[in-house]
Amino acid sequence: MKRLLILSLLVICSCKNKSEDTKETKEPEISLNEKKEAENSADYHLKIYDYDGLEPLINKNDDKVHVVNFWATWCAPCVKELPYFEEINQEYKDKNVEVLLVSLDFPRNYESKLKPFIVKRNLQSEVVAFDDVDQNRWIPAIDKDWSGAIPATIIYNKDKRKFYEQSFTKEELETELKQFLN
């Protein structure tokens, strides 16, 4: 009963002044989220694609700049640079930039590693899982120069497309992104 009261109070608070950002509302919001995360890792709906499914997602013909990052939870340099992609996603949202994180985790690790990672890190960019064993087909199709090492990143809009088989710092990523913004 007490919990319910707090919960409803929270809901009222967060509804009432989202922009006001008072300390009282902010703190409980986080702990509530965390609780939800722990419970929801299993409920998290992971979208899984093979190459035919992924292909349209990495070849959009709209007015946005798309940043597509190939990564995996087991790939240390990928995990290291992931926050930069998250920051880009937040900071350039209003400049028509969209980030897509394509996970190459092994399907047997979706439940044990990938989903908990997404929920725990509270990833805001769109995340999809990519499962297609015929790598020799899709790696050269994604980019003729890709040897298959990750991390790898594509930045594109409808006129221009660049592929990077490398790790990024935040500055490097922004520098590359800015080439697509004007």
165 binds another protein (CB under 8 A): yes
CB of 97 to another protein, least distance (A): 25
From the list 8-16, 30-38, 80-88, 130-138, the region that binds another protein by CB under 8 A is 130-138
In this chain, which of 29, 106, 174, 176 binds another protein, going by CB under 8 A?
Answer: 106
CB hemisphere CA count around 143 (13 angstroms): 19
From the list 26-34, 39-47, 48-56, 142-150, the region that binds another protein by CB under 8 A is 142-150
Report which of 172, 142, 135 is spatially closest to residue 156, judged by C-alpha positions. 142
In this chain, which of 151, 156, 173, 177 binds another protein, going by CB under 8 A?
Answer: 151
Torsion angle, alpha carbons of 103, 142, 172, 72, to 10: 20
12 binds another protein (CB under 8 A): no
**For 138-147, b where at least 16 C-beta lie within 10 A, e where not — what string?**
bbeebeeebe
Which DSSP helix (H) or strand (E) runs through 178?
Answer: helix 170-178
In this chain, which of 148, 162, 179, 181 binds another protein, going by CB under 8 A?
Answer: 148
